[in-house]
Amino acid sequence: MLKKIFGIVTILGVSLGVSINSTSAASAPPLTTLEVKEVQSELGGTESITASQTTTTKDHGGSFMYITTFQKGYSSSKTATFDGTILTLIASTPVDVDGDTIVDGFLYKWNASGKQSGLFKYQATSQNSPWNTMSDTLNIQ
């Protein structure tokens, strides 16, 4: 029955001058990179974080604190915690790393407002093979 319906749709499409394209999109890239990129707070201002940095150089906290992470690849689950407390994701920005108009990863902004100093941890699991789980941590002063 399904073949018959597809055949009718194809015949109608051809007779109306419509082409049916059967190409499929490439699968999403697996998770390959996870990094804490920036901490913004009332007390510490904006601090960019390097890939090898394990502790902030400024003291952070105050009425607001936001932590930005970057992941290259797609994840099926992601979690950010501050001293074990789960944080809320407040912004997600797609990133084209190589300029080919294909989304390669994402910048995520997490709300840690009201926190002072402690351990930030970001963890994500790839949405496809190899289904790996990656994490990054940062001690925030």
- All structural domains of the chain with their residue ranges: 28-140
Tens-digit pLDDT profile for residues 55-107: 999 999 999 999 999 999 999 999 999 999 999 999 999 999 999 999 999 99
Task: Note the pLDDT of residue 6.
Answer: 39
Helix and strand numbers (H, E) in the chain are 1, 9
What is the separation, in whole angstroms, between the first and last Cα of the chain?
Answer: 66
- Mean pLDDT across 40-48: 98
Q: From its phi and psi, is residue 83 left (phi > 0), alpha (psi between -120 and 50) or beta? A: left
Rounded to whole angstroms, the Cα distance separating 27 from 99 reads 18
Percent share of the chain, pLDDT over 90: 79
Q: Answer yes or no: are the C-beta atoms of 61 and 44 closer than 8 Å.
A: yes
Q: Which of 11-15, 34-38, 58-62, 88-92 has the lowest mean pLDDT?
A: 11-15
Report, in angstroms and rounded to the nearest whole number, the Rg of the chain calculated over CA atoms. Answer: 22
55 secondary structure, DSSP code: B
CB 82 within 8 A of CB 118: yes
- Residues in the chain, how many? 141
Q: Which CATH architecture has domain 28-140?
A: Sandwich (2.60)
How does residue 109 score in pLDDT terms, banded at 50, 70 and 90?
very high
Q: Are strands 45-48 and 88-95 parallel, antiparallel or unpaired?
A: unpaired
What is this structure's pTM? 0.80
**Spatial strand order in the sheet of 105-111:** 45-48, 33-41, 65-72, 105-111, 88-95
Q: For tokens 């994840």, what's the residue?
A: 75
pLDDT at position 110 is: 98
